[in-house]
Amino acid sequence: MAKTYKIGYFVGSLAKGSINRTLSKALIRHAPDNLEFTEIPIKDLPIYSWDYDEDFPAEGRALKQAIEASDGILFVSPEYNRSIPGGLKNAIDWGSRPWGANSFARKPTGIIGASPGGIGTAVMQSSMRAVLSFLDAPQLNAPEAYITFRPDAFGSDGEVTDESTASFLRHYMEEYAAFVERVLAVNAPGHIGDSDPDVSMLSS
């Protein structure tokens, strides 16, 4: 029997009618049975400042605990102004600090997103890859997943009416599950988050 993995997922949009929230539901529907999903909420986080580092508020502590309790992290996000939405970047900043306690270190990650436009969040994903590299978080490199959202292809509960889209999402989640398994197989337990890259900028 396949081992079960806990996946914490971020939805990068705070909008009530978010197409990326719909995409997250579709991804969960099409994921292998051995992945268990828990959303890591971002909407109640204050704007991060290192003034909080000495005493994180409950929202910041809960976020870090949720990341650390996850075997893998999945980001499902829109692209805002050709980059990462502010709310999601703020959550990542919270998870990365205080210095020396970066919760993302060595966590296998996947990045996927939808937009109504043709490039399907490609530029946001490129920005995310730079951020996650700096945070020492391994990323699923292939397949890439740039979803052009067509409302007729998705129901509000993540039902997918178009078979080629359903098949792609299934394939993406199977590859993500295999990637999580591979990364965890080489990352010794107990070492997650115990070291930051030896980069002097991190300590500034």
The footprint of ligand FNR (CB under 6 A) covers 13, 15, 18-20, 78-82, 115-117
DSSP assignment of the chain: -PPPEEEEEEE----TT-HHHHHHHHHHHTS-TTEEEEE---TTPPPP-GGGGGS--HHHHHHHHHHHT-SEEEEE---BTTB--HHHHHHHHHHH-STT--TTTT--EEEEEEESSTTTTHHHHHHHHHHHHHTT--B--SS--EEE--GGGB-TTS-B--HHHHHHHHHHHHHHHHHHHHHHHHS-TT-TTS---S-GGGG-
Residue among 173, 145, 170 at smallest CA distance from 35: 173
Nearer to ligand FNR by Cβ, of 81 and 203: the residue is 81
* Least spacing, CB of residue 169 vs ligand FNR, in Å: 16
Query: In the complex, what is the shortest distance from the CB of residue 96 to ligand FNR, in angstroms, rounded to a whole number?
Result: 23
Nearest approach, Cβ of residue 70 and ligand FNR (Å): 21
When the beta carbons of 109 and 115 are compared against ligand FNR, the nearer one is 115
CB 115 → ligand FNR: shortest distance, Å?
3
Measured from the CB atom, is 71 or 79 closer to ligand FNR?
Answer: 79
Closer Cβ to ligand FNR, 60 or 120, answer by number: 120
Q: How far is the CB of 181 from ligand FNR (least distance, A)?
A: 29
**11 or 35: CB nearest ligand FNR:** 11
